[in-house]
A and B are shown apart, each in its own frame.
Chain A
Amino acid sequence: MSFHYVPGQFRIPKTPLFAMPDGIWCGADADSGVFAFEAGYSWGGRIMSRELCYSLSIDGSVMKPVFSSINGYIYWSGSGYVYYTHTYGWVYMSGMFPGYEPLEDYDSKDGERTWTGDRFYTFHSFPQQSGSAATLTPRGAIHDSGQEKELTVVWPRWKAKRGEFGEYEPADGATGTRWLGLPRFRGGGEYFVRSFAKTNGYFTYGRIRNADGRWVIGEPGSDAGWHEGSEPSREGTVTFRFTKKEGSEAQGKDIAVSLYDHVKGDERSKAYLGEVAVWR
């Protein structure tokens, strides 16, 4: 098995640019640790990722999401914290735990202001997508002396090229190509869907199966003839040659089989769904 569907909704505090979907595909075996789900328009729709939310990057330092509520929102942790405050909205601050309301004040003397308080940054809104940036404005004691910083969003992921099932291409630092669903091949006007699991070490593809080491369509040795080829592959076309017994007058055409699309299939796996009295 490679992915199984968990029909639940994980609860997280409010998160800008993202809402946790109802149900996710959980990877197993070769896809262990990878999730596939609908992430929303900002992230390219259907994605796969090892993370269920995006991270932030400030001056090249990555800050990971923490799904605990600070004033109703999640926060990010790394070299400091990014969290939501009642006074200033979103802030970036280090040296204090998230939830702390930073202080900012100034002294006016001879028409000049001297800013005092904590050393922190504020920003108004998150960048709408990977590649764009928000500006962090220095506040408090560094109101005048501090340098602006750039905040970007980072979410290594694979984006679906077409629909939920099929190829997923890398984005934002992810590498390689991933797949969701069972490959469906087509040839001679017929569809061949790959089986979910191997039997005796081989997948089957509809009527295409491995018979004693040969990939065939039909019954080898039958009077009506059969087709022989090789295992269908996502890359390229496999031709199944019409084959018949010696002396047979049966006639048939070769069948060229190639990848058509990917489908969900109808496999089910056993698991338990639990009831708990605790969720925050």
Chain B
Amino acid sequence: MEKVRSGEAVNIKAATWNAFVDAANWVKDAKQNSAANGVSAGLDVGIVRIKNSESTLCPRFSALVITGVCVSAETNEEEFTSCPPVFEGLKMTADREGKPYAILLEPIEAGEIGRAMILGVTPAKVTINSSDEGYAVPKAGSSEGALESSATGTARIIWRAGGGGEQWCVLQLGGAGAGQGEDKALMCKVGGGTATAGYTVTVYPNGRSDEGGVEYSALLFLPDVALDADIPAGTWIIGHKSAMASTGGSET
């Protein structure tokens, strides 16, 4: 692009004109982004801030379940809409299974805030239960926020160092397991229980032939059965994962 002097004829080339248009668009975009300065000035895509709401330090690459936000819209709507969210994190328990979680990118002391990933690719140590399992999930009850392999989940294992035990893996977080497994029929073996109180079962996500392989315990209800037709221990049942309404009772 060349400048012109006063009095000279202006002859604009297409490339010059396009350069002006690009510059104008850049300024326009910059103005739009400034309206949401807090959010755009946040962390990289997929990386969020999370508060370790546990009472002990959580190590790097451990998992914390997202249980809420530190500042809700109800508490402070302006801050909620203009600043990057800071999530509250707790370790995985049986009650929190299925809830979203983040992988810590740095160790976070109890009560402190640090960086964590909810979408993207990150290394993490995962206990490989079976070489067939292609996903990682937080291990319920782990005091260290450990991960273990699973047949389903939202964190796909895209590389792992070895086939069994605790291994360094590379995880792809975010929707990796979408549509996988949650609604499929699983083989369940009755351990005990009644029609009214439900049955404790062992679930075999890899099928009945995988006894001794991947398995976990669950509670199973039979929605349409004779009240006194209690199913004996050892019976195989096809089970479907379901979410049931829960409410409070007489606890204090």
Binding site for B on A (CB under 8 A): 1-12, 20, 24-31, 33-35, 52, 66-68, 165, 177-183, 194, 196-197, 199-200, 207, 218-219, 262, 264-265, 267-276, 278-280
Given contacts A67-B227, A269-B95, list 9 more A-B pairs with CB under 8 A. Answer: A1-B95, A6-B198, A179-B248, A179-B250, A270-B244, A272-B186, A272-B241, A272-B242, A279-B224
Q: Which of B218, B226, B231, B247 contacts A3 (CB 8 A)?
A: B247
Residues of A within 8 A of B244 (CB): 4-7, 268-271
Assess whether B239 is in contact with A273, with CB atoms less than 8 Å apart.
Answer: yes
Binding site for A on B (CB under 8 A): 53, 55, 67, 74-76, 90, 95, 97-98, 185-186, 188, 195-199, 201, 203, 218-229, 231, 235, 237-251
Residues of A within 8 A of B196 (CB): 10, 24, 26, 35, 52
Residues of B within 8 A of A280 (CB): 226, 229
Residues of A within 8 A of B203 (CB): 272
Residues of A within 8 A of B237 (CB): 274-276
A-B residue pair count with CB separations less than 8 angstroms: 183
Assess whether B250 is in contact with A268, with CB atoms less than 8 Å apart.
Answer: no
Assess whether B186 is in contact with A3, with CB atoms less than 8 Å apart.
Answer: no
Q: How far is the CA of A1 from the CA of B251 in the complex (A)?
A: 9
Task: Tell me the nearest residue of chain B to A181, going by C-beta.
Answer: B247
Specify which of B76, B238, B245 lies most central, judged by the most chain A CB atoms within 10 Å of its CB: B245
Q: How far is the CA of A200 from the CA of B52 in the complex (A)?
A: 12
Contact A2:B224 (CB < 8 A) given known A271-B242, A272-B201, A279-B229: no
CB pairs A–B below 8 angstroms (26 shown): A1-B95, A5-B244, A6-B221, A6-B244, A11-B224, A11-B227, A11-B229, A26-B197, A31-B250, A35-B196, A178-B250, A183-B248, A200-B55, A219-B75, A265-B246, A267-B246, A268-B243, A270-B98, A271-B242, A271-B244, A272-B240, A273-B242, A274-B238, A274-B240, A275-B237, A275-B238
Q: How far is the CA of A4 from the CA of B185 in the complex (A)?
A: 22
Closest chain B CB from A114 CB (angstroms)? 42
Assess whether B247 is in contact with A264, with CB atoms less than 8 Å apart.
Answer: yes
Specify which of B75, B186, B218, B219 lies most central, judged by the most chain A CB atoms within 10 Å of its CB: B219
Task: Tell me the nearest residue of chain A to B95, going by C-beta.
Answer: A197
Residues of A within 8 A of B238 (CB): 274-275
Residues of A within 8 A of B251 (CB): 2, 29-31
Task: Tell me the nearest residue of chain B to A176, going by C-beta.
Answer: B250
Q: How far is the CA of A159 from the CA of B66 in the complex (A)?
A: 39
Closest chain A CB from B41 CB (angstroms)? 23
Assess whether A165 is in contact with B247, with CB atoms less than 8 Å apart.
Answer: yes
Assess whether A272 is in contact with B218, with CB atoms less than 8 Å apart.
Answer: yes
Assess whether A274 is in contact with B229, with CB atoms less than 8 Å apart.
Answer: no
Closest chain A CB from B195 CB (angstroms)? 6
Assess whether B221 is in contact with A207, with CB atoms less than 8 Å apart.
Answer: no
Task: Tell me the nearest residue of chain B to A6, going by C-beta.
Answer: B221
Q: Which of A20, A219, A270 contacts B241 (CB 8 A)?
A: A270
